[in-house]
Chain A
């Protein structure tokens, strides 16, 4: 059974960079796209983007100028960096696996709350 676990700081100052890592266990990281999705408290879900271990990325245009994703297959981890954060970036951040044959999300991490505040 594939498991995902997010890690990273829970508090980031405005204008700084949010950095999160997702560790994958129980399966290969090499054969799927891996996504980041966020959810402000009490609100809906926003897809941030995804990465394939070969290096291919696709970011949501609404965040594209501030997002960078990377993957480390040796550690079975993938990462998110979001720069120039504001309070509007405060949310629960989930990592998730894109299913192979369709880009729905079949495995999710538990999520990590990131608060942007000084």
Chain B
């Protein structure tokens, strides 16, 4: 299985400040034939299912605010929230879909400082 490891486990950021979450995979999720990284980011608020924010490592899902961005390639990825809003309080997960079983990171809990 591809192991996904996120850091930190929890993060407190002031409103309007930048939040950065890291995700590392135990093997590359870059598919060389199409040069795409098979990596997605999700946001999960309490009592709700996860919601996809980013796919192909850096493509924002329709309707997701542009303060959310994804970057990275191969085994190292980052989710950045450029200016934290109160509604961004949630747990964030990365997921690889390069190979089955599809696997998720353990989650990063984002709070307001």
Query: A-side interface residues toward B, CB under 8 Å?
Result: 35, 44-47, 49, 58, 60-62, 94, 96, 99, 102-106, 108-111
Complex Cα spacing A13 to B104, Å: 28
Task: Give the interface residue-count category, chain B.
Answer: 20 to 34
Contact indicator A111/B38 (Cβ below 8 Å): no
Contact indicator B97/A44 (Cβ below 8 Å): no
Beyond contacts A44-B106, A105-B95: 15 other A-B pairs, Cβ-Cβ < 8 A, are A35-B102, A44-B105, A44-B107, A45-B50, A45-B104, A46-B104, A47-B103, A102-B36, A102-B56, A103-B102, A104-B97, A105-B40, A105-B42, A105-B50, A105-B52
Contact A104 to B52, CB < 8 A, known contacts A44-B93, A45-B93? yes
- Please report which residues of chain B, range 46-83, place their CB below 8 angstroms from some CB of chain A when the two chains form the complex: 48-52, 55-56, 61
Query: B-side interface residues toward A, CB under 8 Å?
Result: 1, 36, 38, 40, 42, 48-52, 55-56, 61, 93, 95, 97, 100-107
Which of A47, A58, A106 has a CB less than 8 Å from the CB of B104? A47
Contact indicator A109/B102 (Cβ below 8 Å): no
9 contacting pairs across A/B (C-beta < 8 A): A44-B104, A47-B101, A61-B1, A94-B49, A102-B38, A102-B40, A102-B55, A104-B55, A105-B50
Contact indicator A58/B49 (Cβ below 8 Å): no
Complex Cα spacing A15 to B50, Å: 30
Contact indicator A99/B55 (Cβ below 8 Å): yes
A residues less than 8 Å from B42 (CB atoms): 105
Contact indicator A104/B106 (Cβ below 8 Å): no
Within the complex, the shortest CB–CB distance from B99 to chain A, in Å, comes to 10
